[in-house]
Amino acid sequence: MQGAGDKERVEQQKPLKKRTFPEQLKYQRELRGWSQAKMAEEIGATPNRISSWERGIALPGAYLREQLCLRLDMNAQELGLLAMIEEDLSAASESVSSVQQQMLAPPIDIPDPSEVSQKQLSDRASASHSVGVKRISRLRAILTVVIVLLVSLLIIVWSGPLNAIFNPNATNPYPPHSGQLILNDTLQNQNNTENWQEGTNSQQASCIFEAQGYVAFQPHAGYFHACIAQKTDYTNFTYEVAMTIEQGEFGGIIFRSENSVDSHYYIFRIHTDGSYWLYRFVDSNIEHAILLQHSTTQVFNTGLGKGNVIAVSAQSSTLTFYINRQQVCALQDAAYTHGQIGVFAGSLEQAPSQAIFKDAKVWTR
């Protein structure tokens, strides 16, 4: 007969349900009191990646898996990573097996003609023809899927590196008119080469790809919302992008972002009236930002809904700025020497703010 103590021991021996990797990652992060931004900083990733892992829509690569295990003091099995990887491999194997089975045509048994009648031969020929037609149709369907996938891949690649190589209009239009075009992106869809930020944050500010371009949106007055190309890192370069301010008061570009989480970057902000500001941010508070230049230009197409081309040439400590390919200012500042590029939209008093960006180009030396 079991006593109360025996019952307690039996209950303690029941196996606990193992957490999946997304559940375990979120649990370990919250256990340490970390935000997604803090965890990203700890392992050398971005908050967007942490979010995608916790939502179960992506898995970390080999390097980041190693960093997670190191920072959380857990192995891959304890984190639930092994189970997730095995599931992906199993799904991939099943998919390949399914395609192989579809491509195998059923065998056709053809008897000796001397053993069958003329009618049977006719029936056999008809059946063989039917099977052949079905086989050809199946192969055509598979070939169509493959072609569609290849065309989609070519479109993505063409919007990035290949377009940069073969586009005859890709010569650097800015002094000294040299350098290699390494980025030429229409900004109509995501490109894994640059990995532009996507999604909406807790304040409902967003970075979204739409048919007309890459949209930066900030619903609140007194703020701007930055959208960073997270896989970029340039030192000496020229960066150009076309901008149209649809709502709000200003938009602009971000460059040499050494740490976007802590807001260590330069911003070139242009208002709809043609006035512009150049800041060096040291944290997320604009009151702490250093104003490097401020003026007004006549080359900017003023008002909402007007297109303008914004550019910066950063060569060592020399920063030169252009609007519609005409120089508006130049200065010296060596605080930040390299980093990511980005775009933003914002307003001081008129909310919401929205700017659309397209045709981003970068030339490097």
The per-residue pLDDT string of the chain (365 residues; one tens digit each, 9 = 90 and over) reads: 444 444 444 444 444 567 888 888 899 888 888 888 888 888 888 888 888 888 887 888 878 888 888 888 888 888 887 777 666 556 555 554 554 455 444 444 445 545 545 555 555 555 555 555 566 777 778 888 888 787 766 655 444 444 444 454 468 999 988 899 999 999 999 988 899 999 999 999 999 999 999 999 999 999 999 999 999 999 999 999 999 999 999 999 999 998 877 789 999 999 999 999 999 999 888 889 999 999 999 999 999 999 999 999 999 999 999 999 999 999 999 999 999 999 999 999 999 999 999 999 999 98
**pLDDT value, residue 199:** 93
Query: In this structure, is residue 18 part of a structural domain?
Result: yes
Q: Which residues of 129-168 are buried (b: 16+ CB within 10 A; e: fewer)?
A: eeeeeeeeeeeeeeeeeeeeeeeeeeeeebbbbebbeeee
The domain that contains 31 carries what CATH number? 1.10.260.40
Contact call for residues 111 and 127 (beta carbons, < 8 A): no
Query: In this structure, is residue 128 part of a structural domain?
Result: yes
Contact call for residues 256 and 263 (beta carbons, < 8 A): no
Query: In this structure, is residue 105 part of a structural domain?
Result: no
Q: Are residues 77 and 126 in the same domain?
A: no
SS3 57: coil
Quote the strand ranges of the chain, DSSP E: 180-185, 199-200, 206-210, 213-218, 223-234, 237-247, 250-259, 264-271, 275-281, 290-296, 307-315, 318-323, 326-332, 339-347, 353-364
The domain that contains 306 carries what CATH number? 2.60.120.560
Query: In this structure, is residue 253 part of a structural domain?
Result: yes
Flag whether the pTM goes above 0.95.
no
Instruction: List the domain range (segments joined by +) for residue 27.
Output: 11-83
Measured between alpha carbons, how far is 225 from 347 in angstroms, rounded to an integer?
10
Q: Are residues 198 and 253 in the same domain?
A: yes
**pLDDT value, residue 12:** 46
Q: Count of domains in the chain?
A: 3
Q: Are residues 78 and 203 in the same domain?
A: no
Residue finishing a domain among 158, 190, 215: 158
Q: Are residues 20 and 79 in the same domain?
A: yes
Q: Are residues 185 and 146 in the same domain?
A: no
SS3 357: strand
Closest to 346 (Cα-Cα) out of 241, 244, 269: 269
Name the phi and psi angles at 187, rounded to 5.
Answer: 65, 30
Query: In this structure, is residue 322 part of a structural domain?
Result: yes
C-alpha dihedral over 71, 77, 78, 83, to 10 degrees? 110
Q: Are residues 202 and 280 in the same domain?
A: yes
Q: What is the DSSP letter of 4?
A: H
Helix (H) or strand (E) holding 298: none
- Location of structure tokens 């149709």: 137
Q: Are residues 231 and 143 in the same domain?
A: no
**pLDDT value, residue 98:** 54
Contact call for residues 346 and 352 (beta carbons, < 8 A): no
Q: Are residues 208 and 328 in the same domain?
A: yes
Query: In this structure, is residue 163 part of a structural domain?
Result: no
Query: In this structure, is residue 188 part of a structural domain?
Result: yes
Q: Are residues 186 and 154 in the same domain?
A: no
Q: Are residues 189 and 149 in the same domain?
A: no
Q: Are residues 226 and 299 in the same domain?
A: yes
SS3 282: coil
Query: In this structure, is residue 104 part of a structural domain?
Result: no
